[in-house]
Amino acid sequence: MSESGRLRIAVQKSGRLSDDSIALLKAIGIKLNIRDRLLIAHSTNQPIDLLRVRDDDIPGLVMDGVVDIGFIGENELEEKMLERQAANKPSEFEVLRRLDYGGCRLSIAVPKEASYTGIGSLEKKRVATTYPYLLERYFAEQKVNAKAVMLTGSVEVAPRAGVADAICDLVSTGATLEANGLVEKDVIFRSKAVLIQRADGELSDAKSTLINRLIPRIDGVMQAKE
Ligand code: ATP
Ligand code: ZN
């Protein structure tokens, strides 16, 4: 891969983290010319290129050193880290800042008519989720013998479809759970967006200097909002 010398930043192309991440980059003075269809956006006033991808790809892009920094939800970051550790792939990164957006929780929810007296009620049950590593880790910590069933979408309809007994999914207001006849029971992970950097020591001095200039501006923008 060629090293352009420009700082490469990964951001979710379209989704819950996109607007806030782009707004933050603009607020710290990075001018961007974003065209909707394009994977890459070049800054017009800084040696920075923006890579616009699915959020699922961002942890791997950072850990493989394809990009220098990235904006990602801690839920996705932690899940991908566990997945890569299990596969013996590089899983190193550094958290530069925890950000003030993208807040949500990963929770276990069950159909409202189900009897649930605690995580032990899931013994020998199936739980649909997009985060099998986080969920399996929680089962292991809680010493519950339950099975995580991986679904990349429509997790909330799994119980009604007879695919699983419960779900483990991201929640912010709870409206989606409610609409699907589910009740939130246990929070297993609390998440916010974070800015991460690839393993230190692999960045050029110029890129480190640029990152060190950007971070205090991020702090300034977050403080101004408080
Ligand atoms: P992509 O197409 O990029 O894979 P996605 O459907 O996986 O998109 P989004 O729904 O846009 O992702 O969510 C991205 C991230 O936003 C989540 O991983 C999480 O960190 C955060 N987030 C904040 N609130 C919520 C919420 N209520 N539901 C889901 N994610 C949320
Ligand atoms: Zn995703």
Domains, in order of start, for the chain: 7-102+192-225 (3.40.190.10), 104-190 (3.40.190.10)
Q: With 0-12 CB in 10 A as exposed, 13-18 as middle and 19+ as buried, what is 148?
A: buried
Residue 200 pLDDT: 74
Q: What is the pLDDT of residues 142-183, one digit of tens each?
A: 999 999 999 999 999 999 999 999 999 999 899 999 999 999
Is the pLDDT higher at 200 or at 20? Answer: 20
CA of 57 to the centre of ligand 1 (A): 13
Residue 1 pLDDT: 46
Predicted ipTM beyond 0.90? yes
Mean pLDDT taken over the chain: 96
pLDDT at 193 over 70: yes
Kindly state the average pLDDT of the residues 135-143: 98
Pocket of ligand 1 (CB under 6 A): 12, 15-17, 54-56, 73, 75-76, 102, 104, 170, 172, 191
Closest CA to 204 of 85, 47, 60: 47
pLDDT at 2 over 70: no
CA of 73 to the centre of ligand 2 (A): 10
> Taking the model in full, what pTM does it have?
0.96
Kindly state the average pLDDT of the residues 181-200: 96
Phi-psi region of 185 (alpha: psi -120 to 50; beta: other; left: phi over 0): alpha
The protein residue with its alpha carbon nearest to ligand 1, atom 25, reads 104
Q: Which atom of ligand 1 is nearest to the CA of 74?
A: 20
Q: What is the pLDDT of residues 35-51, one digit of tens each?
A: 888 899 999 999 999 99
Q: What percentage of residues in the chain have a pLDDT greater than 90?
A: 93
Q: What is the pLDDT of residues 71-101, one digit of tens each?
A: 999 999 999 999 999 999 999 999 999 999 9
Kindly state the average pLDDT of the residues 9-23: 97
Q: Which atom of ligand 1 is nearest to the CA of 76?
A: 18
pLDDT at 3 over 70: no
Q: Which atom of ligand 1 is nearest to the CA of 55?
A: 3
CA of 205 to the centre of ligand 1 (A): 33
Kindly state the average pLDDT of the residues 119-131: 98
Q: pLDDT tier at 226 (50, 70, 90 boundaries)?
A: confident
